[in-house]
Amino acid sequence: MSAKIIDGKILAAEVKSCAAQAVRFLQERYGITPCLAVLLVGDDPASQVYVRGKANDCEACGIESRVIRLPAGTTQAELLARLGTLAADSAVHGILVQLPLPRHIDPAAVIEAIPPEKDVDGFTPVNAGRLLNGEPCFAPCTPAGCLRMIEAAGVDLDGKHAVVVGRSNIVGKPAALLLMQKNATVTVCHSHTRDLAAVCRTADILIAAVGKARFITADMVKPGAVVIDVGINRGADGKLHGDVDFAPVSEIASYITPVPGGVGLMTRAMLMLNTVQAAAPKTAGDLGFSVKNPVRF
């Protein structure tokens, strides 16, 4: 068997075009232009690239972006003060703080200072709690993107066994909750899981969010499984590798996401949708639109 590739490029472009359409709707109907503020502390090169990417995505969707670059020596109090100003600014609809922060700043304290209604990354405890309770919320963009990819491939999650490898607050745990909301039976694995390969082999849907290149090998995958690779690992060759050993696994899986060109692009696109939704008056309803089938054959 050779897996079909769920193409993040095609799907992210569709999601961003939906976001752009929603921006035009908000401008015409309500005179609102969504605005995303991104706070970047320090000069971490990877973070600089991510922030530039987010600003480009905003521009492509017609979303205003404000990138606030602060020096590495910024104190926690100074950062919280900047956040307070953005929180009070009614022209700013979404706020995100680029992680990681310098060591002297407590990320939890900073994230908690983002008002939940502007928390387009979905990282605040309020949005995490709402997700847990199955209430309307901003779900974190990476797992939301994974779900979008699975659904776009036409895979029905109802009653399926989904195995998530990784239990971080930003990927593994919210992915498990979103899968559960879709009536999947979910197993979450981590570094203490016994006989991980055997557990993974029971998965109809396997989400890898481990942070180790080519960690999921072909012997860990059930024939016909849907494999979603969240991992982004830079190899010694300077290239990006996923958590999944792509070539052999794609001989076994039914669907697979590539790295690069997969979940990473969807994460960025879902941020645009969340920002548009944050700008929408409550009466505008859900602007998320459904996305057509992006599977590349």
Per rule CB under 6 A, is residue 165 in the interface with ligand NDP?
yes
Question: What would the two tokens of residue 5 be?
Answer: 């590739």
For ligand NDP, the closer CB: 78 or 151 = 151
Residue closest to ligand NDP when measured from CB atoms: 168
Question: What would the two tokens of residue 110 be?
Answer: 């900073």
Residue 96 DSSP SS3: strand
CA angle 266, 4, 121 (to 5 degrees): 15
For ligand NDP, the closer CB: 33 or 201 = 201
- Least separation, in Å, of the C-beta of 174 and ligand NDP? 10
Q: What is the largest CA-CA distance in the chain?
A: 56
Selected from 133, 191, 283, 290, the binder of ligand NDP by CB under 6 A is 191
Per rule CB under 6 A, is residue 163 in the interface with ligand NDP?
no
- Where do runs of H (alpha helix) occur along 196-243? 196-200
Residue 287 and residue 280 in contact, taking contact as beta carbons nearer than 8 Å: yes
- Least separation, in Å, of the C-beta of 157 and ligand NDP? 20
Per rule CB under 6 A, is residue 166 in the interface with ligand NDP?
yes
Q: Which stretch binds ligand NDP (CB under 6 A): 64-72, 82-90, 116-124, 259-267?
A: 259-267
Question: What would the two tokens of residue 140 be?
Answer: 């974190």
Per rule CB under 6 A, is residue 231 in the interface with ligand NDP?
yes
Per rule CB under 6 A, is residue 143 in the interface with ligand NDP?
no
Q: How far is CA 272 from CA 91, 111, 284, in A?
A: 16, 19, 17
295-296/4-6 β-pairing: antiparallel
Selected from 264, 274, 279, 287, the binder of ligand NDP by CB under 6 A is 264
Q: Which stretch binds ligand NDP (CB under 6 A): 155-163, 224-232, 245-253, 275-283?
A: 224-232
How are strands ordered across the β-sheet holding 4-6?
185-189, 161-165, 205-208, 226-229, 255-256, 4-6, 295-296
Selected from 21, 168, 181, 185, the binder of ligand NDP by CB under 6 A is 168
Give me the residues that bind ligand NDP (CB under 6 A), please. 142, 165-168, 170-172, 189-193, 196, 209-211, 230-233, 263-264, 267
